[in-house]
Amino acid sequence: MENLLELKDLYVRYNVKSSFYDMISGKKRKHVHAVNGVDFEIGKGEIFSLVGESGSGKTTVGRAILGLLDRNQVIGNILFNGKDILNAGRQGLKQYRLNAQMIFQDPYQSLDPKNTIFQIVSEPLIVNNITNNKNELYERVIAALNQAGMEPVKDIINRYPHELSGGQRQRVAIAGAMVLNPSFIVADEPVSMLDVSIRADILKLMVELRDKNNVSYLFITHDLSLAWVMSDRIAIMYLGKILEMGGSDEVIKSPVNPYSKALIEAIPRIGAKSGKDNVRIYGEIPDPINLPEGCVFYSRCPYAKDICRKEEPVLKEIMKNHFAACHLQ
Ligand code: SF4
């Protein structure tokens, strides 16, 4: 599969505002190390999931890829169709933004309540000077809403977001992302705010759009079972690093890193028994301001050894296209 997106050694670092006392005593400025050396690629038409707890850096990776962060906060390379988008000029960036869209977590907040559905879905076409022609706008909005499975479309385009259900709103958000015919979509927890009963429909729609339009997705989620259902490949993130990455079946059936094992064992299963080999983790993800030395998972890992505290494990290929970072291998 040909690559659409490649991330090489991506770092994202935010400045933390100094306290008044720190400032007058000349203390060094602190930083949040949100992403700490992430590499992966996404093929054309591939669904790639980033999975991790809150604070793992998965959303920050998505925002960095879409150019939504301050350029000074991002270090590394992001290549889209082989072109470096971090150093793209205005024209290059404009072209990239037509091709790369985002579906947000919260359809209640991502849609402007003052605008009709027609205004919301047509906005990207107008803002990007694709067309101002009323007939063409109408045709393209109807086509995008149809693609997103909204019906009856003609009844809906003049309504406001508050008149729609959560599932319908997320379909509108998907139509807004699809109206520019992008080749890449970052979907950040796209169903976590929806009722369980409509989640499957939205996920099915996303897969159908991939199959039909060859769109690639970066699917960001805390839910490993959803990632498994949705994706071709999965990467598990912790404290800004990828600890394991591979085909979804391989990662779920043969996890190597104890953190991956713990996430898999936390998936509720009917009839599952807990055994002495089950990996349980406790506590919270550490503070990304003071990154630990050695393995980032050291403080919570039930298998941690002395070396884990001193030496950071590197991501190695342990089976074909299955990578893991852990000293236990
Ligand atoms: Fe646990 Fe050590 Fe592996 Fe890190 S390197 S996951 S601390 S066993």
We report the CATH number of the domain holding residue 107 as 3.40.50.300
Q: Is the CB of 326 under 6 A from ligand 1?
A: yes
Mean pLDDT within 36-41: 97
**What pLDDT band is residue 313 in, cutting at 50, 70 and 90?**
very high
Q: Is the CB of 318 under 6 A from ligand 1?
A: no
Question: What's residue 35's pLDDT?
Answer: 97
**What pLDDT band is residue 274 in, cutting at 50, 70 and 90?**
low
Q: Is the CB of 260 under 6 A from ligand 1?
A: no
Q: Is residue 180 in a domain? A: yes
Q: Is residue 103 in a domain? A: yes
Q: Is residue 55 in a domain? A: yes
Number of domains in the chain: 1
Question: What's residue 269's pLDDT?
Answer: 67
Q: Is residue 329 in a domain? A: no
Which residues constitute the domain of residue 281? 3-324
Query: Lowest mean pLDDT: which of 157-166, 168-177, 239-248, 275-284?
Result: 275-284
Distance 329 CA to ligand 1 centre (A): 10
89-114 burial, b at 16+ Cβ within 10 Å, e below that, comes to: eeeeeebbbebbbbbbbbbeebbeee
Distance 297 CA to ligand 1 centre (A): 6
Instruction: Using most ligand atoms within 8 A of CB, pick from 282, 305, 306, 314 the residue to mutate for ligand 1.
Output: 305
pLDDT, one tens digit per residue, over 77-103 is 999 999 999 998 888 888 999 999 999
Mean pLDDT within 104-110: 81
Q: Is the CB of 297 under 6 A from ligand 1?
A: yes
Rg (CA), the chain: 21
For the chain, give the percent of residues with pLDDT over 70.
94
pTM of this prediction?
0.91
Q: Is residue 121 in a domain? A: yes
Question: What's residue 309's pLDDT?
Answer: 94
User: What residues contact residue 304 under an 8 Å CB cut-off, 6+ apart?
Assistant: 295, 297, 298
Choose from 89-98, 105-114, 316-325 the range with maximum mean pLDDT.
316-325
Q: Is the CB of 31 under 6 A from ligand 1?
A: no
Q: Is the CB of 104 under 6 A from ligand 1?
A: no
Q: Is residue 120 in a domain? A: yes
Enumerate the H helices of 161-314 as residue ranges.
166-178, 196-213, 224-230, 248-253, 258-265, 306-310
Mean pLDDT within 63-85: 94
For ligand 1, atom 5, the nearest C-alpha belongs to 326
Distance 90 CA to ligand 1 centre (A): 43
Mean pLDDT within 34-61: 96
